[in-house]
Structure 1
């Protein structure tokens, strides 16, 4: 069966061969909450359904209008089989409970590198930040170099004290990088954003091939596991 968990996902899980992120637009904070509960009820009343899906997590956007979904799959083939047999029935039940959900996009990734949680760090993230970094059409090969530059700029194992971990994903279409970062709190993240820009971070921001950055803030709202 399916059970609910309050634990955040382990993004470095070795079986996680195909991490997916998707976005739904739901409109209001009240509909955010209702959609999260509809997802939980729909999954909890059914068998897990597929050994290929490892975990499924839902995050409420600080904008009050969106939900981010993060799922871990053993392979893309496993997702395709689920899509053909189980996905629509579950979405139909969710849509009955919360009509008018707009499913904006689904992106497929491979985890490239992480700045992992330090040994012994048991903090529960108070804030999840995703940053999408878009690259020029002919700059897909620069994405790994850019991530390497970012990790070098974090300053080794200490880095920003409010940053718990950061996980850099390469989109399978070659167009962008997604950084999923766990922060201790909103204030810890704000302190970094408000700090003067260093030469190292200016290099990250102006790296050749980078088109732009899009950041979003979330709170972890639901975890589902078999």
Structure 2
């Protein structure tokens, strides 16, 4: 089980793969094998979850690490890197994140495969990493305005430690409520400011958790 909470002092690596629908499950299977055979044996690894988008175009690997030092040792070992072990696909967009803000503030999300969770990833690529602090000010306002939105169970907004990315991890009760929010977003004004600072790869598609693993 993977536990996501702002109060949990761990860091999260997000690997975002772009793929094609007819290749999505092959990529998932490759990541599962990589996790079981290599990733979970690495010092500092805590847990991970593999997500697939329902539209078939993305796979996102969410990996928790005890420290930035453990993550650096892992990514600096080219013999076990994702790029060398997961071949035949586009290289993922990979960064290390911490949770910047959660709603509700004390929410604790526990995710496992096969439970039918509906996950949304709001992906923002900062045009200038130096603007991440300002971007997060608008993010905090957006989170405040979306609080209590029907269908939104919890949301956890992540910021990359290098300033280059920001990603929202939201859990929804139904695709219908999620679609209603997108049709009339309550945080339209701060979202507009966020988009002025970052290229938004927010997708309408929701995701499901297809695999979860914890350290050996």
Q: TM-score range by the shorter chain?
A: 0.7 to 0.9
Contact 1:134/1:213 (8 A) holds in 2: yes
Match of 2:47 in 1: 55
Task: Name which one, 1 or 2, has greater alpha-carbon Rg.
Answer: 1
Match of 1:4 in 2: none
Contact 1:117/1:164 (8 A) holds in 2: no
Contact 1:126/1:185 (8 A) holds in 2: no
Separation (CA, whole Å) in 2 of partners of 1:37 and 1:48:
15
Contact 1:125/1:164 (8 A) holds in 2: no
- Is it true that 1:151 corresponds to 2:137 in the alignment? no
Computed over aligned residues only, the root mean square deviation of the Cα atoms, in angstroms, reads 3.1
Structure 1 stretches of 4+ moved >6 Å: 117-123
Gaps of at least 5 residues in structure 1 are 1-6
Contact 1:54/1:74 (8 A) holds in 2: yes
Aligned CA distance change for structure 1 residues 173 and 119 (closer, same or farther; 3 Å): closer
Task: Measure how far apart 1:52 and its partner are.
Answer: 0.5
TM-score by length of 1: 0.75
Gaps of at least 5 residues in structure 2 are none
Give the counterpart of 1:111 among 63, 84, 99: 99
Separation (CA, whole Å) in 2 of partners of 1:74 and 1:92:
24
Contact 2:121/2:168 (8 A) holds in 1: yes
Separation (CA, whole Å) in 2 of partners of 1:109 and 1:93:
23
The SS at the match of 2:41 is coil
Match of 1:33 in 2: 25
Give the counterpart of 1:174 among 141, 163, 166: 163
In the alignment of these two chains, the number of paired residues is 207
